[in-house]
């Protein structure tokens, strides 16, 4: 399924019956008023002759938006100056998150609104926000997204998937400590209480966001033009290239002697797990030499062992 935009997700219409909430004349031009509809605080704003409805609570920290101001189709919160597009609810300042818009109709000078729960798209909407929090390293958005997704009974694995896909695509040098931490948090989440699940998932995602924020993104290679390879074969190849890449990365950070040892160790591992005819003989020789306590720094490790 194609990924939906925030606007498409935010403006999902449930088809529920519209409720009368105000007279058009009550809303001043380029102004905003507060109304309560079925227990839901709503800000009704008018700009350029058009009327809009959004949640009256600023998504940043809950300040009443009816105490803000309207200018040229933008609703401005007067606490931290977060700005919102009245038509879509999308924020111009990602730290603030988006405000929920609501569909309205005007009938005979009266405003009718649909404030029914937007459950059909709420999970996907929060997944979009989670991805944006990862991209822009906004801790508050990460935390709010995890809390909201868990409140909607989203499985921990589905939340981890968002972070894992972002982490895999957002770091050119490949798997790093942050992805390991996220994997660990995913593994323990099932054994934790609900509040601790949120904390574990948040911590894992936070590390992924931090690690990718200063990294060049991964450039995807073209896929193999065949689907005949087994999963086992693909896993073998993945481990091979992962080991090789990790060895070179680590060697770059070490002194010359330790770098050589690291590359030798990686070469021996690869020879054992993806052996050529020569590598099989070499591995057997190494095993025998290890068994009898030989010095592995000898000049000719390929020499046949009696």
Q: Is residue 128 classed as helix, strand or coil in its secondary structure?
A: helix
Residue that terminates a domain, selected from 161, 180, 213: 213
Beta strands (DSSP E) in the chain are 19-23, 31-37, 40-47, 50-55, 69-71, 74-76, 83-85, 101-102, 104-107, 110-113
Instruction: Name the domain count of the chain.
Output: 3
Q: Residues 205, 148: one domain? A: yes
Q: Residues 154, 189: one domain? A: yes
Q: Tell whether 5 is covered by a domain.
A: no
Per-residue pLDDT of the chain (306 residues; tens, 9 = 90+): 334 344 444 444 445 578 999 999 999 999 999 999 988 899 999 999 999 999 999 988 889 999 999 999 999 999 999 999 999 999 998 888 889 899 999 999 999 999 885 544 789 989 999 999 999 888 989 999 999 999 999 999 999 999 999 998 888 777 889 999 999 999 999 999 999 999 999 999 999 999 998 877 777 777 788 888 898 888 888 777 777 777 888 888 888 888 888 888 877 776 666 556 666 677 677 777 777 777 766 555 455 545
Residue that terminates a domain, selected from 187, 213, 239: 213
Sole residue written with tokens 């990790």: 246
Q: Residues 175, 254: one domain? A: no
For the chain, the straight-line distance linking the first and the last C-alpha, in angstroms and rounded, comes to: 62
Q: Tell whether 96 is covered by a domain.
A: yes
Q: Tell whether 30 is covered by a domain.
A: yes
Q: Residues 249, 287: one domain? A: yes
Asked whether 112 and 37 are in contact (CB, 8 A), the reply is no
Asked whether 73 and 30 are in contact (CB, 8 A), the reply is no
Q: What pTM value is reported for the model?
A: 0.60
Q: Helices 156-169 and 139-151: crossing angle, nearest 10°?
A: 150
Asked whether 46 and 73 are in contact (CB, 8 A), the reply is no
At residue 132, φ and ψ (nearest 5 deg) are -70, -35
Distance, in Å, from the CA atom of 285 to the CA atom of 271, rounded to the nearest integer, reads 12
Q: Tell whether 221 is covered by a domain.
A: no
Q: Tell whether 21 is covered by a domain.
A: yes
Range of the structural domain that residue 200 is part of = 119-213
Name every residue whose Cβ is closer than 8 Å to that of residue 270 and which is 6 or more positions away in sequence: 240, 243, 244
Residue that terminates a domain, selected from 112, 139, 161: 112
Q: Residues 106, 43: one domain? A: yes
Query: What does 277-294 look like in DSSP terms, one character per residue?
Result: HHHHHHHHHHHHHHHHT-
Q: Tell whether 298 is covered by a domain.
A: no
CATH number, domain of 97, equals 2.102.10.10
Q: Between the CA of residue 264 and those of 238, 251, 258, 259, 273, what are the distances in Å?
A: 20, 10, 10, 9, 14
């Amino acid at each position: 399924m194609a990924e939906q935009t925030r606007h498409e997700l935010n403006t999902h219409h449930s088809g529920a019956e519209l409720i009368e909430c105000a007279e058009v004349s009550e809303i001043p031009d380029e102004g905003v008023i507060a109304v309560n509809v079925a227990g839901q605080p709503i800000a009704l704003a008018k700009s350029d002759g058009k009327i809009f409805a959004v949640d009256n609570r600023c998504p940043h920290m809950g300040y009443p938006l009816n105490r803000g101001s309207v200018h040229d189709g933008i609703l401005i919160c007067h606490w931290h100056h977060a700005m919102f597009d009245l038509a879509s609810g999308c924020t111009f300042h990602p730290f603030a998150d988006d405000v929920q818009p609501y569909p309205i109709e005007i009938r005979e000078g009266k405003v009718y609104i649909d404030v029914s729960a937007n459950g059909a798209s709420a999970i996907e909407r929060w997944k979009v926000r989670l991805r944006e929090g990862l991209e822009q390293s906004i801790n508050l958005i990460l935390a709010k997204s995890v809390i909201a997704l868990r409140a909607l009974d989203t499985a921990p694995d589905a939340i981890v998937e968002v972070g894992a896909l972002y982490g895999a695509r957002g770091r050119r040098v490949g798997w790093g400590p942050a992805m390991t931490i996220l994997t660990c948090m995913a593994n323990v989440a099932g054994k934790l209480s609900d509040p601790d699940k949120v904390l574990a998932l948040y911590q894992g995602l936070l590390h992924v966001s931090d690690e990718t924020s200063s990294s060049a993104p991964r450039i995807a290679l073209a896929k193999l033009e065949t689907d005949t390879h087994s999963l086992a074969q693909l896993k073998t190849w993945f481990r091979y290239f992962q080991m090789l890449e990790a060895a070179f990365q680590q060697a770059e950070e070490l002194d010359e002697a330790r770098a050589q040892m690291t590359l030798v160790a990686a070469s021996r591992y690869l020879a054992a797990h993806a052996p050529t005819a020569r590598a099989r003989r070499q591995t057997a020789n190494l095993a025998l030499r290890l068994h009898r306590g030989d010095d592995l720094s000898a000049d000719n490790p390929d020499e046949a062992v009696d």
